[in-house]
Amino acid sequence: MKKLKVLVLALLCTAFSPVKADEGMWLLQLMQEQNLADRMKAQGLKMDIADIYNPNQLTLKDAVGIFGRGCTGEIISPNGLILTNHHCGYDAIQQHSSVEHDYLTDGFWAKNYQEELPTPGLTFKFVERIVDITAKVNEDIAKKKVTETESFGADYLKELAAKELKKSDLKKAPGISTLALPFYEGNKFYLFFIKTYNDVRMVAAPPSSIGKFGGETDNWMWPRHTCDFSVFRIYADKEGNPADYSPENVPLQVKKHLSISLKGLQEGDYAMIMGFPGSTSRYLTESEVKLRMTATNTPRIEVREARQAVLKSEMAASDKVRIQYASKYAQSSNYWKNSIGMNKAIIDNQVLETKAQQEKNFARFSRAKKNVQYQGVVEKIDAYVANIAPIMTQNTYFNEVFRSGIEFESSYKAFSDLKVALLKNKKKDIAKAIETLKKDFAAVHNKDYNHEVDRKVAKVLLPLYAEKIAADKLPAFYKTIQEKFDGNYNAYVDALYNQSIFANEANFNQFLSNPTAEAIQSDLMVQYSAAKAAARKQLADAMGKANTDINLLHKTYVRGLCEMYAPTPKAPDANFTIRLTYGNVKSYDPKDGIHYKYYTTLKGVMEKEDPTNPEFVVPAKLKELYEAKDYGRYALADGEMPTCFLTTNDITGGNSGSPVMNGNGELIGTAFDGNWESLSGDINFDNNLQRCIAVDIRYVLFIIEKLGGCKNLIDEMTIIE
């Protein structure tokens, strides 16, 4: 019976009737079944949909991949040149920067292959193949090889992916791995064959005053004038296979790359985006939306705001600290502001009311269908929310303070192993534990860590956590603060950061010269780290217990919603797998009397210039080019230089760096942001307000050629005028 319902869902969710909506992060493998070609062509698609994705031939899909750990990139030359966002490449730019070579401030421009910089840890991943494994999962459930609840689990899906790879013709192909994931909340399952390239080199990046122009102030805002791009290149061995870095590696000769259009764009033009959207929650109930607001967004806002205030002050006072913490600050502030905007947009756009109405409609539908599972599912989800809310709130505060806030810690596990070895006088175990501790010490005190900055962060965040969390749920070291330091957080932090074994190299070396179990037992940082780990486990256990059956409830609810909305096709929530969205270039009216046109120009950069504000500094060379109107072939018909534009495409985090293509599949821009008024879009899409902000490809090429002087890069691209 359950298997039958899944098959029914597949039919319902792939049925079609024409509707006016741009919503949907669509699965490439379902585009034909869902008849998306008719809808896309009605909005301006000129190419054959089979040239976008076809498992049996090279398509646009093969020119798009995962850049790094959380962005999208596109191939823009036959020689493996990658275009992505500046903020996506920011880690790499920061990694290569120093006070002596400040690429964050000055930019970086490689004029030949020899100048391109190897970037350890950076990868680029292509999707080689997509396989529907729903029947296999359902078969395992039916044969009791796995329970329905376990079928969602990472362990089962990882094992299944490994088994499928062993049976595949790709099992011996270099760089190939597999990933199995649920879709439609477990009503469908797909297996992805991924090819990973490990030698990715930095090629070009504009100064941050261009690539991050507008900073926090303009983030998530329109009008926008940020040239948010960076360029990298894939290297491979001489056979074109993935390989670790070697001087012998050569630029990858790719199977597919995107052509670039300089024809420009007009309001109403077709636009499509292919990329890897990270996460959406379009199927949440009203109670779950409230949970997102109070248990996730609010704690994140409070903790990050406090930490960022410290970082901002310290970064302003020191170039070394600015470079060390540039990427960390950017990552933190991005979703700090997003959380603020989301909570506001949920209220402004009446998302709670929309969800409540949907639940009323679903209740009527369930009664009419006489489906007992559907009739009770929302109430069961509401009960789950009531149970999980305090645990999830605490969990968010914990993660924000102790996992992404305070950096200093020690390896309590390695110290514990060493203590046992010392007490038993096992020399081999002692030596092994000490080697582990040396690696852990180096990992903590890396080039991007500043002990004094982190000390100041800890002095702010430790009391903040105590203020927000009940006393009986605080980690055990809070008792030490009260009993041994009279509740003085500053005194405790100073002792922690001055006296502990891991506090500095001198302390660490002194301990290694005579390691004792007593020193480990009494060390404040060992106690802190052990207490933190115990608290994390307790929270994880509580979360796991409270999450019982919620996946099955969501599976039922989504199946019912797809059935209720049939024959209109519905897209599954984003989960960082390849998707396509389509829409149009379009202006919008955020409020009464306010109209935002669909594009901006370099004139707006000059209007925003403020030499006293680091977010709005304009480089002298860019001003020279502007004053001379030296735009080359990249200018508009009226002589202005285009910078950014708006489309109605449905995107979210992970789409950063995604190619924006016209009806012929030619690159016209790179997506980098959403607009403030629609930050509730991850939960509820608003067709009137939702906009994708993209940098115009003409602005990118202008900066590369005229400001960066990299005609060598322009010459290897396929450009259509």
Give the residue numbers annotated as catalytic, written as ranges: 87, 228, 656
Structure tokens at 673: 């942001």
Pair 15, 565: CB distance under 8 Å: no
The DSSP line for 57-89 is: S--GGGGEEEETTTEEEEE-STT-EEEE-TTTS
The DSSP line for 120-162 is: TT--EEEEEEEEE-HHHHHHHHHTTSS-TTGGGSHHHHHHHHH
Partners of 73 in the beta sheet? 65
* Pairing, β 108-109 against β 64-67: unpaired
Residue type (1 letter), 98: S
Burial 394-414 (b: 16+ CB within 10 A, else e): bbbbbbbbbeebbbbbbbbeb
Give the integer Cα–Cα distance in Å for 569 and 563.
10
Give the integer Cα–Cα distance in Å for 681 and 376.
27
Length of the chain: 721
Give the integer Cα–Cα distance in Å for 429 and 417.
8
Give the integer Cα–Cα distance in Å for 721 and 719.
6
Pair 679, 345: CB distance under 8 Å: yes
Strands (E), 570-714: 579-584, 588-591, 594-596, 599-601, 642-647, 659-661, 667-674, 692-696
∠ CA 205-206-212, rounded to 5°: 110
Give the integer Cα–Cα distance in Å for 409 and 607.
46
